[in-house]
């Protein structure tokens, strides 16, 4: 295996074992939120609980972001501020039926992803953030935060939403679920130039991830086709 693959494998192993270590604490958080459902804009106990956990693990936390009392940005900075990958946490419940669509799980998953990534952040040229985006079901916290420029400090933002199946092709607003973009050559406006070698390794890494993903065959083939057409466009 090449140097980059070894490195990625090592990182992946330590991040995965960190998730295993955190398992009980993450379930405890998910169940705590489930037992204490709060509707959008009023997620005070939920927000406080999440922020406490992140602070305990060394994240630098700012609350009240974008004028929203229950929004926050928590960061763990590695050897550089950028690139910064953000994991988005939702924690608002629905009136009367509580966490019926599982935002408690979104919060626990993003906290877990953030804490696991933070465990190797000192070895990385970048930073990781967990971002609390309140009121998803009513006020649309993410839109308010985006308008206030909160997302300018991030290079990628990720989250998952629970469902009864794994899927790449959800039809959601403002979402192109499998879009691959590479900046090559360092031209104006291109922030992170990559070498051809790194580019090739990243493509084969993503190919491997897609091949191993537990998703429908059609979706998988479509995503692989898109990935490989990017490769052809580059060198074709
Ligand atoms: Zn939902």
Range of the domain at 179: 172-236
Asked if the structure places residue 20 within a domain, the reply is yes
Ligand 1 centroid to Cα of residue 122, in Å, is 33
pLDDT in the model for residue 54:
98
As a whole number, mean pLDDT of residues 52-73 equals 98
CATH of the domain at 39: 3.40.630.10
Ligand 1 centroid to Cα of residue 93, in Å, is 9
Instruction: Among 134, 162, 190, identify where a domain stops.
Output: 162
Asked if the structure places residue 188 within a domain, the reply is yes
Report the chain's mean pLDDT, rounded to a whole number: 88
Instruction: Among 162, 180, 211, identify where a domain stops.
Output: 162
pLDDT tier for residue 110 given thresholds of 50, 70 and 90: very high
The total of structural domains in the chain comes to 2
Instruction: Tell whether 97 and 133 lie within a shared domain.
Output: yes
pLDDT in the model for residue 28:
98
pLDDT in the model for residue 236:
39
Strands 127-132 and 60-63 turn out to be unpaired
Burial class (CB in 10 A: 0-12, 13-18, 19+), 213: middle
Ligand 1 centroid to Cα of residue 232, in Å, is 37
Instruction: Tell whether 108 and 204 lie within a shared domain.
Output: no
Instruction: Tell whether 147 and 104 lie within a shared domain.
Output: yes
Ligand 1 centroid to Cα of residue 193, in Å, is 36
Ligand 1 centroid to Cα of residue 52, in Å, is 23
- Residues of the chain above pLDDT 90, percent: 62
Ligand 1 centroid to Cα of residue 103, in Å, is 6
Ligand 1 centroid to Cα of residue 101, in Å, is 5
Instruction: Tell whether 142 and 215 lie within a shared domain.
Output: no
pLDDT tier for residue 6 given thresholds of 50, 70 and 90: confident
Instruction: Tell whether 11 and 93 lie within a shared domain.
Output: yes
Asked if the structure places residue 167 within a domain, the reply is no
Ligand 1 centroid to Cα of residue 137, in Å, is 7
Ligand 1 centroid to Cα of residue 160, in Å, is 10
As a whole number, mean pLDDT of residues 163-186 equals 63
Indicate the pTM of the whole model.
0.78
pLDDT in the model for residue 229:
80
Ligand 1 centroid to Cα of residue 94, in Å, is 9
Cβ contact 160:104 at 8 Å = no
Instruction: Tell whether 226 and 177 lie within a shared domain.
Output: yes
Instruction: Among 112, 127, 162, identify where a domain stops.
Output: 162
Instruction: Tell whether 130 and 176 lie within a shared domain.
Output: no
For residue 17, CA distances in Å to 68, 167, 203, 208, 233 come to 35, 25, 25, 20, 37
Ligand 1 centroid to Cα of residue 221, in Å, is 27
């Amino acid at each position: 295996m090449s140097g980059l693959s070894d490195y990625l494998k090592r990182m992946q192993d330590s991040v995965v074992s960190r998730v295993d270590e955190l398992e009980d604490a993450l379930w405890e958080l998910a169940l705590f939120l489930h037992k204490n459902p709060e509707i959008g804009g009023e997620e005070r106990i939920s927000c406080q609980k999440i922020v406490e956990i992140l602070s305990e693990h060394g994240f630098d936390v700012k609350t009240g972001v974008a004028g929203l009392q229950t929004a926050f940005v928590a960061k763990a900075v590695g050897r550089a501020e950028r690139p910064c990958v953000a994991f988005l946490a939702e924690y608002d419940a629905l009136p009367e039926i509580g966490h019926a669509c599982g935002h408690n799980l979104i919060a626990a998953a993003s906290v877990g992803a953030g804490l696991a990534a933070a465990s190797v952040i000192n070895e990385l040229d970048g930073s990781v953030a967990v971002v609390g985006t309140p009121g998803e079901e009513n006020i649309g916290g993410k839109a308010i935060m985006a308008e206030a420029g909160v997302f300018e400090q991030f290079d990628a933002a990720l989250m998952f939403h629970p469902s009864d199946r794994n899927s790449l092709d959800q039809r959601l607003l403002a979402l192109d679920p499998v879009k691959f973009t590479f900046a090559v050559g360092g031209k104006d406006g291109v922030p992170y130039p990559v070498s051809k070698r790194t580019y090739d390794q990243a493509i084969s890494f993503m190919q491997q991830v897609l091949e191993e993903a537990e998703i429908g065959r059609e979706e998988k083939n479509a995503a692989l086709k898109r990935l490989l057409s990017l490769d052809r466009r580059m060198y074709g």
